[in-house]
Structure 1
Amino acid sequence: MAIHNPDGTYSIRSGLTLHSSAVKDAEVHIICQVEHQTYSRPYNRSVKLTVQAPSQPVYSAVTLIAVTSVTSLLLVTAVIGGVLIFYRYFCKAPPSVSEISQPSITYAQVQTELKCTIRGARQQELKVKWSKLRSSANLVVQSESDPLLVREDVSDQACLQSDGTHHTSVLPVCLTVNEDLTKYQCVVLCRGKIINRNTTVQVKVEPSFLQISSIPQIPKVERLLVLCCRVENFYPQDIDLEWSRNDGEQVCTVTHFGPFSDHNRLFSVWSKIELVMAREDESAVYTCRVYHSSFPAPGYKDILYHINTQGTPPNVMFIDCEPLYPLLNEECTLHLCVKDFCPEDVSVTWTKDGETVSCFNTPPSLNINGLYSMFSFLKLTPNKDDQGSKFRCQVVHSAQKEPEERLFTLPASHNLHLIFDGC
């Protein structure tokens, strides 16, 4: 389409697109012919085009790819190396130091371990110090943070365990009740930096005696029954006792005594309930649940009392001999254990070939289950006439249907096994 010029004339441009595949014999002659009414004849312009093959590059594509890859790899390596060098020498980040870990329960006079874990440093870069901070009226070296604490360096007791990337400093400790709430400090020195970690160790003592006793020992119908739960020798003093009954009936009239402290700073507490026995109370089970921080999960222990108006017959064990193989003319001891009976009155007698012999019986002792146990001992020096003798021990108790006996036969030779059975 013609374009109108400012001077009143017109202009037009014409072009031709030609693909090299249309050219034959590598040459082509192109003529452009212009016709206009002002021309007496057509106006021609011509051009001759020559087609040539593209020139070959100096390097092949494979070479260019290889050179590019190597150059890129060198650049990446240089960048990473520079970052590492910069981080190591100019950005020395402090190591990661965990808090001091300790067992969930630390028992008095039982060795335990305090641990502090360090990451992000080499072992040769580390120096770990441990301090024990304890209260004292006679101060020699006071800590800077608290003038009422003595700082004791215990670094020589610690050891550093390493697996290459993780380092754990372990400090064994064994504390008494008097050292409860002792503070420990772990100081990590690395690359000119100081990192402090602190912890406080709370000491526990689990009760050594938990028991329910009754007054009277054998409950009687329509009479007052007092159950007393004793929990002794525990630390710290915070403790909770709860009574319950197996049939869900509410337990009332609970009275607590204590906790009381002894000269060792251990505590004891008593708790009692009172009830008037009814016939339906026979075989009921009362539970005293003791909550204390020294108990592992779930954090409590149950003490049971089974109401039994008939008493409990003893569990009579077999006769044992010490030494196991008695020798002629050397003293030996026969002993028998009588367990878990109530009431405490029991009769234990010995006979040798039908004749009564003297023995020693220990007083009945109250067990944690509210029942009694005792031992009976018979000392003898066997001679040739005693070989093959039969020793019988008879136990008589009010809750038994009939007396119970145990038999021991003295072997004819010390090379023979002991012979014993029950009757």
Structure 2
Amino acid sequence: MSKLDELIKELCPDGVEYAKLNKICKFQNGFAFKSSKFSHTGFPILRITNINSGELSNDGYIYFNKEDYKENLEQYKVKKDSIVVAMSGATTGKIGYNYSDNTYYLNQRVGMFIPFKEKLNNRYLFHWLLSKSNDILNISSGTGAQPNLSSVKMMEFIIPLPPLPVQEEIVRILDNFTEHTAELTAELTAELTARKKQYEYYRDSLLTFGDEVEWKTLSDVLKIKNGKDYKQFEEGEIPVYGSGGIMTYIDTFVLDRPSVLIPRKGSINKLYYIDTPFWTVDTIFYTDIYTNIIIPKFVFYYLQKEHLEQYNTAGGVPSLTQSVLNKIPIPVPPLAEQQRIVDILDRFDTLCNDISVGLPAEIKARQQQYEYYRDKLLTFKEKQI
């Protein structure tokens, strides 16, 4: 019999108590920092873009100076071992954990869980929240890249509440599992990163041209078009794309030819190549490509090489405009040469990115294994009162 089984048999043989999250945990909403007062130094603000599944990213922090605010900002501090959640945007519902000694401050689009220590183990709550990611998304409101999460609804969730020694043993098991998984995943990720760098090297080499080819602008080889609302259509099988990817499915399409989708706002460097019918909303452009001049997949790979974030026109949320995009120069070698380059890069792309084969599949399998054991360990018979 495992230690966990022994603890359950000793401390809760008849089942465990279940409680609403708001009875055993406080929720802290973020603070509306003024974008006009953002700075390059000072105290970092935690934004939704810094929240990954399970940890905080160090990419793209913005800063503020305390002297710009009269309010006491102590309650908005995200200290070590804090649990946070993205409340809106493309990452809505993502749970983050501050493993570092760094202190951040909650932006208004981020919330923080503060468990009552006499009832709820912090790491137990973290693992449980990760298991509820789909439920959290289901209670969000709004559509597209900007859904919003209700803290009131989320804090109505009911959590199993075994005695603290049982919670601590579950945490020990899951933390050991994730630590081992993290080591294996790190090795796989390092190999995948090396392969992606190799791919980017060959892509950039293959797509570097001089005066030996004809050069045009994007407006010469394609037409950039705006996305539209989709809510008047019925549910169907045609994907609707926003800047964050597929949002839903409807019964009609805006284009049924190969196209490159270019986010207008947000993740402007995240391009999509689509060769089946699709619809787009207004946060992302689609392209009607003149295939007698250029191959759509060639356009996709070349724009990846160009790193469109360099064409950002906004100081806040990254943005692209048609006028700027239309002027981007693009090489136009003969169609046969374009196809040769596309065929080579397709093979690299499959190796690096296809989630059903190779290294990404191994990484995904590790995560699924953790999720299986986590969900099993967090399932209890409810104690009858």
Whether these two folds match at TM > 0.5 is no
Higher helix share: 2
Q: Name which structure has the greater RCO, CA cutoff 8 Å, separation 6+.
A: 2
Higher strand share: 1
Normalised-by-shorter TM-score class = under 0.3
